[in-house]
């Protein structure tokens, strides 16, 4: 029976579907620190998470089994054992599993019991729940191995404790959400430790995968609830944790406790990491975006520069007859402050051509929203032409407030491949812009100092698609609109419940109607970084054709 352990926690990125690449990375990390007894990797690290319907492909299951055997074989060298997550097909059923590899073989398997099926998670679509897991005895230690969601509710950890588990190791694939650090450590982790009296390791991954971003922030809590280790957020990290068995059981010796991002630095880093990994994993040389002189495009450009570097970001100003001089100046100033390329391509020739082309069909009708949308679509076509010709991904710049109420043009400003503001309300955009002007994120490739003129933040927002246009012509002020939307979207409240918070009932009812009728637009929007609990994507799946309203 051993009384000392060295457990290596490897907080790393993944690439969904790249089984050999993920296995190579795990073998590389295994050799980085000599003397570890056990190396732990995040949930489903071999195939990547979330795998979605890739796990329904027999070829993926077969290759996963081959790579797992390869990893197991590597442990025949007498080095550390490994805990590796992957899928397993057993008697026609697919399981999310954790595999203990040691001495050249798979020595134990545990199957995930609690399968999340909410928000971004669809695990009941793919997997069969495993039975309540038993502790795994290894080198004289009874390891409790709850897998991610298994620690979010009491039964699994309580069962492991009853069956003699001495410490809990919980590999995770836990995406970032606002305030989730506090939830993981302050409630979920602390509650399980308090209930069982056992020390707990929560190991999470880092990096972006389409709309979800993993923030790491792995930690170790001792049985008395004290924080022994806190790994950084957003960055890959290796922690060699030292453990001793005493009269009261196992205890992790104190190690590094890294500070985590405060708000809103966490949101900004989520945007950076999501965009960086999406662009790089899909092999785009960079991004192109419309730089209008407004706050949404200015913030999107700043995030892109911080994520990718100024040399990979290309701004395009596309003025029309309605574009003000301030907008021209502010776009140029943003490009100069960020150090990016800025081209100016006036759209008026195309507007006139469309006007002449459509004049016979539009005869007898006054200009209206149609002509405004034509301008937006000309800009979208222009940017997509540049994207097609030079290979840069088109970065869209719309925010969640606009997308909620349909204040966006399909095939116009909605065109593109990715959006960093998709889950950011307009008030959050203002907050992030002020924050970035005063702070440089730790992982930023952009420079110090402000990234946009203060005038961009202070001036009234406008789409500039008609003379003297302001967002407030069509929408309530954002400090009114955003709390209403938060109640309707994030909290799923009725019109009456939101109005009871002090809002005009007619205004709330109008916003609910706009929210529902814009569903068809959002269904065609590009993916974007998930920030809150109910992003427009995996989290919120409403029918396009929908007659329900919370007020008759």
Active-site residue list = 43, 112, 148
Buried b (16+ CB within 10 A) or exposed e, 214-225: bbbbbbbbbbee
HSE toward the beta carbon, residue 391, CA cutoff 13 A: 8
> Do 199 and 168 touch, CB atoms closer than 8 A?
yes
> Do 41 and 216 touch, CB atoms closer than 8 A?
no
Q: Which residue matches tokens 């996963």?
A: 64
| Pairing, β 418-419 against β 167-171 | unpaired
Contacts of 157 (CB under 8 A, 6+ apart): 144, 146, 150, 151, 168, 192, 195, 196, 198
Angle at 13 between CA 9 and CA 14, to 5 degrees: 115
Contacts of 58 (CB under 8 A, 6+ apart): none
Buried b (16+ CB within 10 A) or exposed e, 488-503: bbeeebbbeebbeeeb
**Residue 213: Cβ within 10 Å count:** 26
The C-alpha atoms of residue 461 and residue 402 are separated, in whole angstroms, by 11
Alpha-carbon distances of 539 from 117, 343, 419, 513, rounded to whole Å: 11, 37, 16, 20
What is the separation of C-alpha 471 from the centre of its chain, rounded to a whole number of angstroms? 28
**Residue 427: Cβ within 10 Å count:** 17
Q: What proportions of the chain, in percent to the nearest 5, are helix, strand and coil?
A: 40, 20, 40
Contacts of 253 (CB under 8 A, 6+ apart): 228, 241, 242, 243, 244
Contacts of 484 (CB under 8 A, 6+ apart): 476, 498, 503, 507, 508, 511
Give start and end residues of each alpha helix (H) in 131-285: 154-162, 180-181, 190-196, 265-281
């Amino acid at each position: 029976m051993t009384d000392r352990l060295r457990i290596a926690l490897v907080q790393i990125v993944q690439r969904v579907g790249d089984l050999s690449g993920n296995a190579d990375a795990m073998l590389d990390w295994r050799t980085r620190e000599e003397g570890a007894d056990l190396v732990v990797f995040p949930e489903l690290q071999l195939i990547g998470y979330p795998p979605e319907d890739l796990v329904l492909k027999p070829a993926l299951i077969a290759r996963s089994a081959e790579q797992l055997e390869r990893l197991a074989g590597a442990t025949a060298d007498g080095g550390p054992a490994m805990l590796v997550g992957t899928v397993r097909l057993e008697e026609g059923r697919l399981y999310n599993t954790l595999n203990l590899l040691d001495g050249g073989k798979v020595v134990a398997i545990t199957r995930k019991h609690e399968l999340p099926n909410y928000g971004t998670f669809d695990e009941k679509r793919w997997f069969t729940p495993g039975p309540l897991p038993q502790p795994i005895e290894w080198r004289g230690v009874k390891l409790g191995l709850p897998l991610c969601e298994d620690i979010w509710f009491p039964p699994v950890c309580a069962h492991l404790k009853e069956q003699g588990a001495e410490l809990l190791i919980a590999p995770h694939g836990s995406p970032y959400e606002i305030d989730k650090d506090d939830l993981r450590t302050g409630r979920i982790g602390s509650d399980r430790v308090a209930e069982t009296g056992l020390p707990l390791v929560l190991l999470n991954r880092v990096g972006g995968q389409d709309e979800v971003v993993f923030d790491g922030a792995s930690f170790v809590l001792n049985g008395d609830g004290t924080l022994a280790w806190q790994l950084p957020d957003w960055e890959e990290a290796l922690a060699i944790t030292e453990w001793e068995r005493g009269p009261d059981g196992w205890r992790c010796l104190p190690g590094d406790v890294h500070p985590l991002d405060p708000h809103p630095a966490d949101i900004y880093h989520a945007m950076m990491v999501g965009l960086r990994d999406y662009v790089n994993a899909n092999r785009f040389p960079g991004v192109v975006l419309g730089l209008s002189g407004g706050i949404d495009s200015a913030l999107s450009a700043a995030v892109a520069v911080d994520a990718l570097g100024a040399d990979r970001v290309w701004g395009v100003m596309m003025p029309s007859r309605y574009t003000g001089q301030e907008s021209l100046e502010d776009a140029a100033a943003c490009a100069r402050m960020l150090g990016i390329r800025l081209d100016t391509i006036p759209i008026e020739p195309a507007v006139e051509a469309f006007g002449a082309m459509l004049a016979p069909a539009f005869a007898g009708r006054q200009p209206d929203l149609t002509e405004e949308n034509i301008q937006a679509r000309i800009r979208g076509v222009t940017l997509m032409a540049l994207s097609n010709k030079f290979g840069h991904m088109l970065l869209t710049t719309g925010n969640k407030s606009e997308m909620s109420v349909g204040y966006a043009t399909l095939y116009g400003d909605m065109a593109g491949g990715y959006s960093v503001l998709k889950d950011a309300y307009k008030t959050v955009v203002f907050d992030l812009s002020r924050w970035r002007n005063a702070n440089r994120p730790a992982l930023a490739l952009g420079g110090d100092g402000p990234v946009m003129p203060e005038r961009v933040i202070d001036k009234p927002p406008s789409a500039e698609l008609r003379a003297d246009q302001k967002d407030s012509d069509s929408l309530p002020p954002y400090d009114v609109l955003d709390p209403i939307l938060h109640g309707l979207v994030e909290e799923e409240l009725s019109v009456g419940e939101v109005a009871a918070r002090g809002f005009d009932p007619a205004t709330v009812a109008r916003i609910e109607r706009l929210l529902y009728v814009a569903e068809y637009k959002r269904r065609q929007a590009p993916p974007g970084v998930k920030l809150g609990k109910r992003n427009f994507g995996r989290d919120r799946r409403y029918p396009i054709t929908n007659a329900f309203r919370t007020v008759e």
